[in-house]
Amino acid sequence: MVLIRKAEKTDYPKVLELIQELAVFEKQPDAVEITVEELIWESSTEPPLFYCIVAEIDQKIEGMALFYFRFSTWKGRTLHLEDLIVRQPSRGKGIGEALYCKVMEFARKHNVKRVAWEVLDWNQPAITFYERTGAKVFDDWRVAHMTEEALENYLLSQKSKNE
């Protein structure tokens, strides 16, 4: 039996392990910089910066989903699903879908106009699952990120341009 519940402060070491496991799965094992302390702090603000739910089997955390509100100029209030991960040995047991369903229930309860997330183009099992649930996976939109270092370099270049 899977228990889905709100993450508690004491869960965040396991949540971070899951985030790191996801980074390895996504072929970016060195990308995770966040700490347990930051997760605890940002989830404790009012309002919280993000929401996190965990999936437990026999009092052991086997998965989690982390999500937060965004605003779309086209739609209004939306929800962004940042991460949904289930430990490798526990995949295929319905845990991921149980977490996904809870996120969608949260979205409906909060009257969001859209739930959005990213999925890697090579993660066909996830794409198939999302499409089966009615989600549209776009091929024509690209995700853009600016790292902290790139941000600093850009702003420095703009400052020197304006001097």
Distance of CA 97 to the CA centre of its chain: 14
- pLDDT confidence of residue 160: 87
- pLDDT confidence of residue 163: 82
The answer as to CATH 3.30.2010.10 being correct for domain 3-117 is no
SS3 of 50, please?
A: coil
Amino acid at 18: L
Tell me the average confidence (pLDDT) per consecutive run of 10 residues in the chain, 163 residues long: 96 98 95 97 96 97 98 97 96 96 98 97 95 96 92 94 84
Distance of CA 101 to the CA centre of its chain: 14
SS3 of 80, please?
A: strand
- pLDDT confidence of residue 162: 84
Active-site choice (12, 68, 130, 154): 130
Catalytic status, residue 154:
no
**Domain spans of the chain?**
3-117
- pLDDT confidence of residue 12: 98
